Amino acid sequence: MRRFFLLAMVLGAASGAQAADMPDFLRGSLPAGPPPITNWQGWYIGGQGSYGTDTSQVSPSLNNDLRAQPIAPAGFNYTWANLSQAKDVAGGYGAFAGYNGQWDDVVAGIEANYMHTNYAALTTGIGVDPSGAITNSRALVSLTDFGSIRLRAGYAIGCFLPYLYAGVGLGNQTIDRSVSATPAPVNTQTFSNTKDILVYGYSAGFGVDVMMTAGLFMRAEYEYQRVTASTETTINSGRLGIGYKF
């Protein structure tokens, strides 16, 4: 009998030791928890590139002042075609810097954002008169620089920070206009005008920051931007960036 009890004690002790050596997830005593929340609190800075579409709402009568200047020779009449919407596709590059505040998994902050782009939307109108005269009216609307201040709000999920943002800013718009007509009393008549304009606008969009390691993060976002001026421009673009959080 004593041998039986001794054998039972040895087997029980061995079974307990094996159970203690088992990983917690195999014993089922430690349920899986949420991933740890990344610390997004603090200042950050980064660079970015973009690619998008530009649409400028050019007034059909934008070149009326220039169209009044060419004088048709005897026997000819000038017939002008109206201008229309202008579009372009282009890329750009820029930088951003900002500050995040964090409350548990809620992140909100302010950001300064700058982009240098090469949007150049062109529209032309060619008129042919029964008398044989040909006219050409054109306008090139360029948007090269735009800086904005954004407010951001996001929700931290592990190392991911999806966010929404909205902002206002200033930019540089150039409108290059010209008209030409032939035949002319001497040579083809050409009249032009170029004007640089300081414009304002607003933007909104969404994106996600992904913390990689030691403060280094990557960014992907979409932006809708509208420039409000005498010639309004809207831009839809995608952006990729890389930044560092201090």
Interval 122-154: pLDDT, tens: 999 999 999 999 999 999 999 999 999 999 999
Is 209 strand, coil or helix? strand
Q: Indicate whether 181 belongs to any domain.
A: yes
Instruction: Read off the tokens for 108.
Output: 């909100």
Is 70 strand, coil or helix? coil
In total, how many domains does the chain have?
1
Q: Indicate whether 82 belongs to any domain.
A: yes
Q: Which amino acid is at 88?
A: D
Give the list of residues 6+ apart from residue 121 with CB closer than 8 angstroms, or none. 54, 55, 56, 58, 86, 87, 88, 140, 141, 142, 233
pLDDT score of 179: 96
Q: Indicate whether 191 belongs to any domain.
A: yes
Range of the domain at 78: 60-88+117-146+171-201
Q: pTM of this prediction?
A: 0.81
What does the mean pLDDT of the chain come to?
88
Tens digit of pLDDT for each residue in 75-107? 999 999 999 999 999 999 999 999 999 999 999
Q: Indicate whether 197 belongs to any domain.
A: yes
Residue 48 scores a pLDDT above 60: yes
Query: For the chain, what percent of residues have pLDDT higher than 90?
Result: 80
Torsion of CA 165, 163, 119, 116, to 10 degrees: 90
Q: Which amino acid is at 18?
A: Q
Q: Indicate whether 124 belongs to any domain.
A: yes
Nearest to 176 by CA among 157, 156, 191: 191
pLDDT score of 26: 45
16 pLDDT tier (thresholds 50, 70, 90): very low
Q: Indicate whether 7 belongs to any domain.
A: no
